[in-house]
Amino acid sequence: MAVITITNDNFEEEVLKSEIPVLLDFWADWCTPCKMMAPVLEEIEKELSGKIKVGKVNVDEEAALALKYQVMSIPMFIVMKHGVFEGKTVGVQTKEELLAFLKL
């Protein structure tokens, strides 16, 4: 599995109906800290492949999802488990911080 692009069209199937926890990254092309997080997310996805799903939500293209989850600053990370919001964190995170956050 790889990091997947989450849109309003696939949100229900990829996130709400997911059997495994989903780490959502709300980001934008113009956001330098967001770009810094991309390799960290790819590394986490590779390490935990099959145990979690990593999805990226472009806030410029998916404004409805950003509004729904009250994204005020990016990068913002949300954990969803079995379609239920478990928590969020904002800003650049180390790999270790994100891994700890996933264990909510």
34 is catalytic: yes
- Spot the catalytic one: 34, 44, 76, 80: 34
79 is catalytic: no
Residue of 3, 4, 28, 31 with catalytic role: 31
Segment (H or E) for 25: strand 22-27
> Is 94:63 a contact under the CB 8 Å cutoff?
no
Amino acid letter for position 47 = E
Active site amino acids: 31, 34
